Amino acid sequence: MREEKTCLEFIDISMEFPGVKALSKVRMDIRRGEIHALMGANGAGKSTLIKILARIYRQTEGEIFLNGQNINGATPETIRNFGVDFIFQELELVPGFTVAQNIMIGIEPCRGPFVHWRRMEEESQRALDAFIPGAVDARSRIADLSVAKQQIVCIVRALSRNPKILVLDEPTSRLSASETEALFAALNSIRNQRELTIIYISHRLEELFRICDRVTILKDGVGAGTWDIKSLTKEDIVAKMVGKMSPPDKAKVPSPAFPGDTHQEAASLQAPLPAALEVCRIGVEGLIEDVSFEVRPGEILSIFGAVGSRKTELLEAILGIRNRSSGTVRIEGREVKLTGARSAKKHGICLLPEDRRKFGIIYDFSVRENTTLAFLKRFITRFGAIRKKWEAQTVKELCASLRVKMPSAEVKVKTLSGGNQQKIVVAKWLAGNSNIYIFDEPTVGIDVRGKSEIHEIIRRLAGEGKAVIVSSSEAEEAIGIGHRMVVLFNGCPAAQFECGSVKYEEIIFLSMGGKRNAG
């Protein structure tokens, strides 16, 4: 018998893509008014399951009941008309349209037969400001917004449709702590006014414990079960998702070689190396003010700041992707004029961009092609032939070290799960063998195990003497990975210090514009 409170029921859902069994006989029931977490490692089948609910995919087996009704005949439109709304992992926005057009798509206010543009903008702006005042201008074009702002637009769009059931696929992966709070506050305030049922997908365990009632865990496309969140610990969840994890081995983490290092041994044994990259008083009109730092070989520098603190803009200014109004960049002591990613690459700098959809990856190319594309020269013989075997071997090793879940390296990247696509972008840049690596938000959307693997790889790069910059809006990541840290607030350097000597609360405080106590 169906339980009275159940509003959504997945019964033995299976899904097969060519060569991949994404789901097999998954069962899940969602109760009216609850926040139900859906957890699983990258490629476990979470997004596939909710896309079946959205009728984007048709399951190969099984039934879904919405309020007791089989949704087999439903289309993406009718499912939304039932009051089910989605925020998909791969933000579905029309890049050439304005924010207002995207928010109001399908529900545009009209005057007679015409769209009432002014009202559309006003209503959108009101909804945006109710979420985070002043964060996004309704008149901007989507293509001009950062991924974080695009994420906010998706959230506001979904909320302004007054859904009864809201499905969120990693809504916070691109958001900072304060924006995540805004999302939770908005969800809470809706839930105080009316009934709202939520399916919530996230790799951030802390969030689940804060807002969710129950959790269903998928492992390799198979349902591991559903539990009250209170009955589980973090470790339980991770163990059910991926099996036991061994704690990272601190002893393996190499120390950098620069003076004043907290790892005093390294500093006293080795003479200080010249900076691999020196950034001096960088400024960008109206955006970045007077940022200076250096990174030495073997050192990892974290750049920490909330989303919107202009970390990406700073990196772009350094590499010459964006025009600077002041400042110089030196590589190994020599001043260089970088004019973009390509010239940076010539100077031995690799950038893993934040907006992978724009720059990182070609979705219609295979995993192998994407991985080696940027560095194809390395795999070409004197006579212009590609060293196929070596190329295949490199791709295989990189993908294995990142545990990319895929049937083969020849499948198109667009068929991989969100997190596995991210791993391909990372793999692509690791194939390059540069001297300076810049990672902009390297672990967004990557599951717990993948995350510690990427961190391990970053540490290994530093251990091999590379200079590494990691930009992150996640405080734990910034502290955990870096030897030293620059905190950015509104495009200005708020502080710079050794990571070993700093506390989580303090850098959050500084990143929100707080001032450090002298003494």
What is the token pair recorded at 89? 């992992």
By CB under 6 A, residue 223 contacts ligand ATP = no
Beta strand 277-284 with 222-228 is unpaired
Cβ neighbours for 433, distance < 8 A, ≥ 6 positions apart = 375, 378
Report which of 340, 195, 373, 347 is spatially closest to residue 277, judged by C-alpha positions.
347
Report which of 327, 241, 355 is spatially closest to residue 341, judged by C-alpha positions.
355
* Apex 145 CA angle, 143 and 148, nearest 5: 130
Q: How many Cβ atoms from other residues are within 10 Å of residue 112's Cβ?
A: 5
Binding mask 39-68 for ligand ATP (x = CB under 6 A): -x-xxxxxxx--------------------
Q: Which is nearer to Mg ion, 76 or 248 (CB)?
A: 76
Quote the least distance from Cβ 46 to Mg ion, whole Å.
5
By CB under 6 A, residue 370 contacts ligand ATP = no
Quote the least distance from Cβ 417 to ligand ATP, whole Å.
3
Quote the least distance from Cβ 221 to ligand ATP, whole Å.
7
Q: Which is nearer to ligand ATP, 187 or 404 (CB)?
A: 404
Q: Which is nearer to Mg ion, 91 or 104 (CB)?
A: 91
Q: For residue 510, what is the enclosing H or E element?
A: helix 504-511
Q: How far is CA 470 from CA 71, 170, 439, in A?
A: 45, 22, 5
Binding Mg ion by CB under 5 A: which of 40, 221, 256, 418? 418
Binding mask 16-35 for ligand ATP (x = CB under 6 A): -x--x-x-------------
Quote the least distance from Cβ 49 to ligand ATP, whole Å.
7
End-to-end Cα separation, the chain, in angstroms: 67
Q: Which is nearer to Mg ion, 89 or 434 (CB)?
A: 89
Dist CA 183 CA 173 (whole Å): 12
Dist CA 392 CA 374 (whole Å): 15
Quote the least distance from Cβ 79 to ligand ATP, whole Å.
18
By CB under 6 A, residue 173 contacts ligand ATP = no
- Which one of ligand ATP, Mg ion, none is in contact with 372 (Cβ closer than 5 to 8 A by kind)? none
Binding residues among 128-147 for ligand ATP as defined by CB under 6 A: none
Binding residues among 71-110 for Mg ion as defined by CB under 5 A: 89
- What DSSP string describes 206-236? HHHHHH-SEEEEEETTEEEEEEEGGG--HHH
Q: Which is nearer to Mg ion, 89 or 370 (CB)?
A: 89
By CB under 6 A, residue 416 contacts ligand ATP = yes
Interface residue list for Mg ion (CB under 5 A)? 47, 89, 417-418
Interface residue list for ligand ATP (CB under 6 A)? 17, 20, 22, 40, 42-48, 89, 405, 415-420, 447
